[in-house]
Every structure is written in structure tokens, then in C-alpha cells.
């Protein structure tokens, strides 16, 4: 089974003087061939790129994990840089990660959010969206998002949007600040 997963901040498409960063790769083990790609696009605003990403495969506890994320910064790059460094580490530290990944991901998002708030004098007033995906042994995919960054899955040539943007002007995407802090939108997809 071949499939791919792509991530991008859901901003207006690049035009004019925008700069971008993109990459791709694939897994090294397993029966399923997994390829991934990401695209970070700087908008037209007159400030530096504030987007960070993670795209890698690691091996831990005899398992292959694909870790993928896009963090779209707002009012600076300190919060997305913090997320790039700490969010997956916090998820994998959760005791329930191997038995209940959904709970572990939710707890880690909440703990990471609290850590950002406690470091706010150092990190500034900015913030970030987060879309993360964890692929376990190329068979189970866990996607979580807060904000309007997107993950899409390409399977058999079909593009499937995996996340719903959290936007105040759409009923389906409307989420209160408390709901976002307590539980990111998290879902599992079995790929077998």
C-alpha cells in the first residue's frame, strides 16, 4: 500500500514576493511505502517567516514512528520554535502513548500549552497553530490540530483533508479557547 501525507499552513497561496520552504522524504522500513511532503509559505506581510516544521522517522521501543508537524507562528517565531523542540517529546513522554495515543496527545498538547504560558515572559506575546501527525509502524496515523494549519492524506491518488480548520467564522470549526486548550481535534486512521 502506497500513501503520502502532506502538511501546510492554510494561508493564502504564495504570490508576488513570498518565500517558501518545502521538503519531502520516505520511510526506511516496513512493508508499506510511506512518502511525505511539507510546504511552508511566507505570506505577503512585512515580517520574517514564522513557520516551523518537523518531518522525520524515528525508531523507539522496537517501533517505527513518523513524526510530522507544521507550526504556523503569529506575532513572532518563539512559540512555533518552542513547539518544534518540545511538543513531540512531550507526547512521547506520556505513559499512555502506546496504549491510548489520543489521551496522550491531548495531555501533551495541554501540558505544552501550559509550559508556553508559564514561559510567556521569555517567549513573548505570540502564538502558533499546530498540526501534528504520528504514524505508528506505517499502519496507524494519529492527527491532531489546533488552529488553521492543515494535514491532507493522499491515498491511491485521492486527496483527503484530515483536519478541520478552527476558525471563529465557521460553525464546524468554531472552538472556544478553553476547548482548544483542553483537547485538540485528534483522530486515528487505520491504514491497513
Split at pLDDT 50, 70, 90, the class of 170 is low
120: in domain: yes
For residue 73, the domain's CATH number is 3.60.40.10
Q: pLDDT at residue 61 above 50?
A: yes
19: in domain: no
Split at pLDDT 50, 70, 90, the class of 65 is very high
Q: Residue 38, SS3?
A: strand
Domain count, the chain: 1
**Residue 32 and residue 153: Cα distance in Å, rounded?**
15
16: in domain: no
Q: Which residue has the cell 507550526?
A: 71
**Residue 107 and residue 113: Cα distance in Å, rounded?**
10
Q: What is the DSSP string of 133-148?
A: EEEETTTEEEEEEESS
Against a cut of 0.85, is the pTM above it? no
**Residue-range definition of the domain harbouring residue 91:** 2-10+26-190
20: in domain: no
Split at pLDDT 50, 70, 90, the class of 4 is very low
18: in domain: no
57: in domain: yes
pLDDT digits over 6-39, tens only?
444 443 333 223 344 777 888 776 667 788 877 7
Buried b (16+ CB within 10 A) or exposed e, 89-125: ebbbebeebeeebeebbbbbbbbbbeebeeeeeebee
Q: Which residue has the cell 491510548?
A: 100
Amino acid at each position: 500500500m502506497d500513501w503520502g501525507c502532506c502538511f501546510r499552513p492554510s494561508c493564502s497561496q504564495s504570490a508576488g514576493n513570498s518565500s517558501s520552504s518545502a521538503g519531502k522524504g520516505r520511510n526506511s522500513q516496513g512493508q508499506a511505502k510511506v512518502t511525505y511532503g511539507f510546504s511552508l509559505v511566507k505570506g505577503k506581510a512585512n515580517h520574517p517567516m514564522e513557520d516551523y516544521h518537523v518531518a522525520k522517522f524515528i525508531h523507539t521501543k522496537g517501533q517505527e514512528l513518523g513524526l510530522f508537524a507544521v507550526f504556523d507562528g503569529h506575532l513572532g517565531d518563539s512559540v512555533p520554535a518552542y513547539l518544534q523542540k518540545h511538543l513531540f517529546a512531550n507526547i512521547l513522554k506520556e505513559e499512555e502513548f502506546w496504549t491510548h495515543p489520543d489521551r496522550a496527545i491531548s495531555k501533551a498538547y495541554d501540558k505544552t500549552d501550559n509550559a508556553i504560558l508559564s514561559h510567556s515572559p521569555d517567549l513573548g506575546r505570540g502564538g502558533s497553530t499546530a498540526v501534528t501527525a504520528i504514524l505508528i509502524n506505517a499502519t496507524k496515523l494519529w492527527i491532531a490540530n489546533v488552529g488553521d494549519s492543515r494535514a491532507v492524506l493522499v491515498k491511491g491518488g485521492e486527496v483527503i483533508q484530515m483536519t478541520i480548520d478552527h476558525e471563529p467564522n465557521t460553525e464546524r470549526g468554531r472552538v472556544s479557547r478553553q476547548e482548544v486548550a483542553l483537547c485538540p481535534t485528534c483522530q486515528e486512521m487505520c491504514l491497513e
